[in-house]
Amino acid sequence: MKHAKVLILGSGAAGWTAAIYAGRANLEPFVLHGPQRGGQLTLTTEVENYPGFDHGIMGPKLMEIFEAQATRFGTKVFQTWATEVDLKKRPFTVRTATEGDFTCEALIVATGAEAKWLGLPSEMRLRDAGGGVSACATCDGFFFKGKELVVVGGGDTAMEEAIHLTKYAPKVTVVHRRDKLRASKIMADRANANPKIGFVWNSEVVDVLDTNGNKRIRAVVLQNLLSGDKTEMAVGGLFVAIGHKPNTDLFVGQLELDEKGYLVTQPRTTYTNVPGVFACGDVQDSVYRQAVTAAGTGCMAAIDAERWLDLHGGAH
Ligand code: NAP
């Protein structure tokens, strides 16, 4: 059994920032890096909006730097992930996939969220190759200047992405599987009123085509769900906006979740409903979901944990 003063679950911007701050507070944190070392940023290409990198930086590289900075201050990294937690009493217990059980005095949950994808092999291949398939217009929209784009989804995120993308694209087509939007009226009205946005109803993207050997998207195949007809639409980019899923399955029944499955934190803190358990990053944020906001809440979680341990014992 390995024992940590502070155990951090997750290795995205939130987890590493929590580790940097906890390390500098001499709390000798442990990080379980989770199934996706580096988190969602390792699925993006260039990050141009992280302050301090005026010429941009590749997402995976940014996470390598975060990790190096965390280990410099004494963080111990374990290449495994939690499969079960027991938060009923301190020390908390965390069972892992490959490294046995851990105990800890304070737990920082930074397990993040995942964009939902359509699940098409061609979509995954082009996403991983940086070939014009994305789930984040704020992150990647800039790279699609002058290109005609498709956004999949009918919710607020899809409307928001489509509206944002019209800053760069001459035309954005929203493809929705029904003939009615799920989005709020205000967002739907805004999208409808935008002359650059068009809609294809009752349709799904069933394949993504690339230029020969170029690993760059050239078209999507749409299928009308009423007629079954398939058509090809030439596009310069595909944005999938069918929702996000926070990685909170582990905590069901132990930590308070909101109706969308995100961890609930007390306003302006990272305190969850269990004393000694803190949450930061996208696992508790359905609104901003940016690397810099995740890092900000990671810092908050480490400071909250440090102060809490000072009051309740376990820091030494
Ligand atoms: P959402 O409301 O769950 O909408 C997801 C959309 O994607 C739905 O239209 C759904 O179709 C479609 N969809 C789901 N799976 C699909 C699939 N496999 N293939 C094709 N289409 C699929 O998710 P969201 O838009 O991300 O919003 C999440 C929450 O955040 C909402 O409460 C929203 O109000 C909030 N939000 C608010 C704002 C804002 O106010 N500015 C911005 C973003 C998000 P169906 O409609 O047929 O189910």
pLDDT tens for 191-224 read 999 999 999 999 999 999 998 677 899 999 999 9
Q: Round to whole Å and give the CA distance between 113 and 116.
A: 9
Residue 121, pLDDT above cutoff 70: yes
Distances (CA, A) of 46 to 106, 133, 140: 34, 13, 8
Whether the CB of 243 sits within 6 Å of ligand 1:
yes
Catalytic entry in 104, 140, 156, 304: 140
First to last CA, the chain: 18
Question: Is 315 touching ligand 1 by the criterion CB < 6 Å?
Answer: no
CB 130 within 8 A of CB 245: no
Name the pLDDT band for 47 (thresholds 50, 70, 90).
confident
Name the nearest CA neighbour of 87 among 281, 292, 225, 278.
278
Task: pLDDT band for 138, please (50, 70, 90 cuts).
Answer: confident
Atom 23 in ligand 1: residue holding the nearest Cα: 243
Coil, strand or helix: which one is 18?
helix
- For residue 229, name the pLDDT band (cuts at 50, 70, 90): very high
Residue 51: per-residue pLDDT: 97
DSSP string, 219-232: EEEEEETTT--EEE
The rounded Å distance from CA 108 to ligand 1 centre is 28
Q: Is the CB of 203 under 6 A from ligand 1?
A: no
Residues counted in the chain: 316
Region 259-270 average pLDDT = 97
Our answer to whether residue 280 is catalytic in this structure is no
Ordered DSSP codes for 151-215: EE-SSHHHHHHHHHHTTT-S-EEEE-SSSS--S-HHHHHHHHH-TTEEEE-SEEEEEEEE-TTT-
Give yes or no: 179 in active site. Answer: no
DSSP 41-101: GGG-SEE--STT-TT-EEHHHHHHHHHHHHHHTT-EEES--EEEEE-SSSSEEEEESSS-E
Centre of ligand 1 to C-alpha 248, Å, is: 19
The rounded Cα 279 to chain-centroid distance in angstroms is 14
Tokens standing for 236?
């310069």
Q: Whose CA is nearest to atom 4 of ligand 1?
A: 155
Q: How far is the CA of 148 from the centre of ligand 1 (A)?
A: 22
Given this model, what pLDDT does residue 184 score?
A: 93
> How large is the greatest C-alpha to C-alpha distance in the chain, in angstroms?
68
pTM here is 0.78
- Residue with CA closest to ligand 1 atom 1: 155
How confident is the prediction for the chain on average, in pLDDT?
95
Beta-bridge mates of residue 239: 134, 151
Candidates 54, 86, 104, 139; catalytic one: 139
Measured distance CA(238)–CA(161) in Å, rounded: 11
Three-class DSSP category at 256: coil
Beta strand 101-109 with 92-96: parallel, antiparallel or unpaired?
antiparallel
Stretch 145-173: mean pLDDT? 96
Whether the CB of 153 sits within 6 Å of ligand 1: yes
Whether 113 shows a pLDDT value over 90: the answer reads: yes
Strands 230-234 and 217-224: antiparallel
Is any atom of ligand 1 closer than 6 Å to the C-beta of 178? yes
